[in-house]
């Protein structure tokens, strides 16, 4: 299953890095972010616990003196310092100290020491929910957190009074929360800056560490762009190898060894192809003379004025015909060998329109039982190339249409220009090319197992391969589209001079 480029998390589409460098950098930043978050949470929790413990210590030292002073009538100050703690005196109490007295679970008095006051209490109006929270505080002398609607969060301690009542003393948690929030802000700023610096530094470090791998990838890209299918191939310089003890160094070393094996194989293949090409060219060249000699002697024997037995005459005619056929095959093999060797063709202006007219005229004479149709532009179409070889391309395509279609088949030859490219098409409405033959129809010695017409003379299977080789030598392409009732060979040649008119001239047999 392929990895998708985007990931969904909490309904949000998040980009997923594709390159190894980006993934390593992202992983480093993510791990550092997790570590920073863990450190920050631990620091916040630890500080909050420490400050809360200090607050509990203050409550323990303060005891219940302040709420005990509330059980007397009134909450105003007394003139005597000795009596202040017994009658709700707020002196010697920290600002914000909360005191409450409960009798039978009911709050009888509740006050807080206001800021800027030395002896005056401020009564606290409590709601029923607040009284329930105070009544629920365990009387265990330990600190507990409650949230009172008029005072927010408080840390309170509940103890038993001398009269059997419950005395609650509390201090505000606001200083603790402010300190903790300040720590959170500082940690967020520091850790954010650390993540940013680490991300940039990590990206540079990963980039520097993966430079050998980038060179290997660049070398592999250059190799993938080389035409390895044919001809002599010069591989690019090897990728620089780094420390063989590292993973990148081992990859570079293995890649260079693989390139060495590939280069050796390509060199041996090229040498073998050169030997085979040279053999084909030499053999074809050497066979031309004896084949021509055999053909000449057969034709000379047929011209003998004396009486010749019919069987001998028939044998001589067959010798002459097969010699001519063999001579054509030798010429075709020699042409393919020259094209494979990369010998340059003529580069002269060629009037394709005139070549098509001449080729169709010859095909009409050779196959009068077929219906030949021309679709040509009003103005001539000219390309740069070898006129003789292009004439051979047309002759082979028309011969293929004539020999492999039944009598009465309509063959249409059309020519047009498309973006300075000459498009030549040979279309017939015959039975079509067999499906199993189509993939290799332009390969050498390819012949259909089932003939498209009975009684057609067989060839060597080199005609269409010559078409493909000549067209490729001109920088063009040839393609086949075939189905029962419609077969089209399309040749595209670059560098065409577009026709001035858009209308076509149509000529029927």
| Among 41, 44, 112, CA closest to 75 | 112
Residue that the structure tokens 């890649």 belong to = 255
**What share of the chain in percent tops pLDDT 70?**
77
User: What confidence score (pLDDT) does residue 118 get?
Assistant: 52
Is the pLDDT confidence value at 409 over 60? yes
Say which residue, 193 or 445, is predicted with more confidence.
Answer: 193
Say which residue, 487 or 288, is predicted with more confidence.
Answer: 487
**What share of the chain in percent tops pLDDT 90?**
10
- Work out the pLDDT band at 414, boundaries 50, 70, 90: very high
User: What confidence score (pLDDT) does residue 451 get?
Assistant: 44
Mean pLDDT is highest, among 392-396, 436-440, 460-464, for 392-396
Angstrom distance (rounded) from CA 424 to CA 42? 79
Region 16-44 average pLDDT: 83
Is the pLDDT confidence value at 11 over 60? no
Domain boundaries, the chain: 19-62+176-209, 64-172, 224-343, 348-508
Give the 3-state secondary structure of residue 345: coil
Q: What is the CATH number of domain 348-508?
A: 3.30.565.10
Angstrom distance (rounded) from CA 145 to CA 129? 15
Give buried/exposed letters for 81-107 (b at 16+ CB in 10 A, else e): eeebbebbbbeebeebbbbbbbeeeeb
- Work out the pLDDT band at 450, boundaries 50, 70, 90: very low
Q: What is the CATH number of domain 224-343?
A: 1.10.287
* pTM > 0.85: yes or no: no
Rounded to 10 degrees, the C-alpha dihedral 27/30/36/42 comes to -110
**Using one digit for the tens of pLDDT, what is the confidence trace for 348-397?**
898 999 999 999 999 999 889 999 999 988 888 899 888 888 998 998 89
User: What confidence score (pLDDT) does residue 489 get?
Assistant: 93
| Among 238, 311, 214, CA closest to 19 | 214
Angstrom distance (rounded) from CA 319 to CA 507? 40
Is residue 356 within 8 A of residue 413, CB to CB? The reply is yes
Pairing outcome for strands 122-123 and 382-385:
unpaired
Angstrom distance (rounded) from CA 216 to CA 242? 11
Query: Rounded to an integer, what is the distance from CA 113 to the centroid of its chain?
Result: 70
Residue 6 backbone dihedrals phi, psi, to 5 degrees: -125, 150
User: What confidence score (pLDDT) does residue 245 get?
Assistant: 75
Q: Domain 64-172, CATH 3.30.450 — does that match?
A: yes
- From residue 263, alpha-carbon distances to 226, 256, 257, 270 in Å are 12, 10, 10, 10
């Amino acid at each position: 299953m392929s990895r998708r480029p985007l990931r969904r998390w909490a309904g949000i589409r998040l980009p997923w890095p594709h390159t190894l460098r980006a993934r390593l950098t992202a992983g480093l930043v993510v791990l550092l972010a997790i570590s920073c978050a863990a450190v920050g949470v631990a620091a916040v929790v630890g500080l909050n616990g420490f400050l809360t413990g200090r607050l509990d210590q203050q409550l323990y030292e303060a005891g219940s003196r302040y709420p005990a002073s509330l059980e007397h009538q009134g909450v105003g100050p007394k003139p005597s310092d000795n009596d202040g703690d017994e009658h709700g005196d707020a002196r010697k109490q920290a600002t914000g100290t909360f005191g409450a007295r409960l009798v039978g679970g009911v709050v009888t008095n509740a006050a807080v020491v206001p800021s800027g006051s030395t002896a005056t209490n401020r009564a606290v109006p409590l709601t029923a929910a607040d009284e329930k929270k105070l009544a629920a505080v365990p009387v265990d002398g330990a600190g507990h957190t409650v949230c009172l609607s008029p005072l927010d969060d408080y840390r309170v301690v509940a103890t038993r009074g001398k009269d059997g009542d419950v005395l609650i003393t509390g201090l505000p948690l606001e200083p603790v929360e402010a300190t903790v929030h300040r720590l959170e802000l500082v940690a967020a700023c520091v850790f954010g800056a650390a993540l940013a610096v680490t991300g940039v530094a990590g990206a540079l470090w990963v980039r520097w560490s993966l430079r050998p791998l980038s060179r290997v990838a660049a070398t592999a890209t250059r190799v993938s762009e080389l035409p390895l299918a044919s001809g002599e191939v010069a591989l690019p310089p090897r990728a620089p190898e780094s420390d063989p003890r590292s993973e990148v160094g081992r990859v570079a070393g293995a890649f260079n060894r693989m390139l060495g094996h590939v280069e050796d194989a390509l060199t041996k293949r090229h040498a073998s192809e050169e030997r085979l090409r040279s053999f084909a060219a030499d053999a074809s060249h050497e066979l031309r003379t004896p084949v021509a000699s055999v053909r000449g002697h057969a034709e000379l024997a047929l011209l003998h004025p004396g009486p010749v037995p019919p069987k001998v005459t028939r044998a001589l005619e067959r010798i002459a015909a097969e010699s001519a056929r063999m001579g054509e095959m030798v010429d075709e093999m020699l042409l393919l060998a020259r094209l494979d060797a990369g010998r340059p063709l003529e580069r002269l202006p060629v009037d394709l329109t005139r070549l098509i007219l001449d080729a169709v005229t010859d095909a009409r004479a050779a196959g009068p039982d077929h219906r030949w149709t021309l679709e040509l532009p009003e103005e001539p179409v000219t390309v740069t190339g070898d006129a003789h070889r292009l004439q051979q391309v047309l002759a082979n395509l028309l011969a293929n249409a004539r020999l492999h279609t039944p009598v009465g088949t309509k063959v249409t030859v059309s020519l047009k220009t498309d973006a300075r490219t000459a498009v030549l098409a040979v279309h017939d409405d015959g039975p079509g090319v067999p499906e199993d033959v189509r993939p290799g129809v332009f390969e050498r010695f390819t012949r259909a197992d089932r003939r498209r017409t009975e009684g057609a003379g067989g060839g060597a299977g080199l005609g269409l391969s010559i078409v493909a080789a000549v067209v490729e030598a001109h920088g063009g392409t040839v393609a086949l589209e075939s189905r029962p009732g419609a077969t089209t060979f399309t040749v595209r040649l670059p560098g065409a001079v577009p026709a001035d008119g858009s209308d076509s001239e149509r000529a029927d047999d």
